[in-house]
Amino acid sequence: MSTQDTAGSMTHKEIGAWWSTAITRIAPGEIDLRGYPVQELIGRVSLVETVWLLLRGELPDPERARLLEAALVAAVDHGPQAPSIAAARMAATCGVGLNNAVATGVNLLGDVHGGAGQQCIALLERMALLREEGASADGAAEAVVAEHRERGQRVPGFGHRFHPRDPRRDPLVDRVREAVDRDLVPPTHLESGLALEAALARGRSRPVPMNIDGATAIVYASLGFAAELGRGLFVLSRSVGILAHAWEESGGRARIKGPLPRRVLAGHHGPETRHLPR
């Protein structure tokens, strides 16, 4: 029996189940998001609350929504020093549409640039398991740091190539600490993150402070978001900065701006100029 014959023998209900979803229900004149009519959400629920609703299935309380919003605001942009921003601006000078320029930037957010938050959440979750088995926060941190050093790997979420101390760290850590004090989130992930920071600084002349990835990882983990969703939330946040930069660059007059100004040529370490035999 062909696929067409099979589809023809299915009921509308069976066909509708192909993309069945718990997120959105649509019908003529009706749109429900997680059960809420969209017209009731418009003007009454913030974008951040809607993000939580779609990802988690229920609306957050105002305090947790504000903590999520703080993390999203903190990661929104880092200027053209960030490859994703530079790539989006470069794409905009090539005459592509705004959506193409934004997609160019977003597609650079992978394991190396944009993935440390997800990796740090996974690390915090692993430390939480170690603590359930009886390890202290400091003991779990020392074990994790020792493993990374033995493998020659960096601990994700700590240190920054540009900032001696990431200015986004303290406001986010302070807000998580306030949430812990008010019993809005558990203390485990904050304690683990601070213990990692202390373990990395031990025996060094210069500390390795937490960066935006580590700070947002503590927020997202404390709020119960899965590690992979942590990366998704970072992409969502950084997309705003990518959009702003792509739009700004598209309004300029420069065309086809490469990674270097025209007066600066990329270095060359290949063979000197040579010619084919005559």
Least Cα distance to 54 among 24, 26, 20 occurs for: 24
Measured CA to CA, the distance from residue 85 to residue 90 in angstroms comes to: 9
- 176 within a domain of the structure (yes/no): yes
Tell me, what's the pLDDT at 5? 53
**What six digits make up the tokens of 182?**
């008010």
- 31 within a domain of the structure (yes/no): no
**pLDDT (tens digit, 0 to 9) for every residue of the chain, 278 residues total?**
455 556 668 898 898 899 999 999 999 999 999 999 999 999 999 999 999 999 999 999 999 999 999 999 999 999 999 999 999 999 999 999 999 999 999 999 999 999 999 999 999 999 999 999 999 999 999 999 999 999 999 999 998 888 888 999 999 999 999 999 999 999 999 999 999 999 999 988 888 999 999 999 999 999 999 999 999 999 999 999 999 999 999 998 889 998 888 899 999 999 999 999 99
- Domain span at residue 151 reads 79-92+109-249
Tell me, what's the pLDDT at 1? 45
Locus of tokens 């692993």: 126
| DSSP helix/strand/coil, 56 | helix
Strand pairing partners for 37?
Answer: 32
Measured CA to CA, the distance from residue 272 to residue 134 in angstroms comes to: 63
- 211 within a domain of the structure (yes/no): yes
Q: Domains in the chain: how many in total? A: 1
- 44 within a domain of the structure (yes/no): no
CB neighbours of 240 closer than 8 A, spacing ≥ 6? 76, 77
Least Cα distance to 117 among 206, 228, 20, 24 occurs for: 228
8 Å CB contact between 246 and 91 = yes
CATH of the domain at 222: 1.10.230.10
- 29 within a domain of the structure (yes/no): no
- 204 within a domain of the structure (yes/no): yes
CB neighbours of 227 closer than 8 A, spacing ≥ 6? 118, 119, 121, 122, 125, 221
- 219 within a domain of the structure (yes/no): yes
Q: What is the pTM of this model?
A: 0.92
- 48 within a domain of the structure (yes/no): no
pLDDT in tens, 199-239: 999 988 888 999 999 999 999 999 999 999 999 999 999 99
The C-alpha torsion from 125 through 221 and 136 to 116, rounded to 10°, is: 70
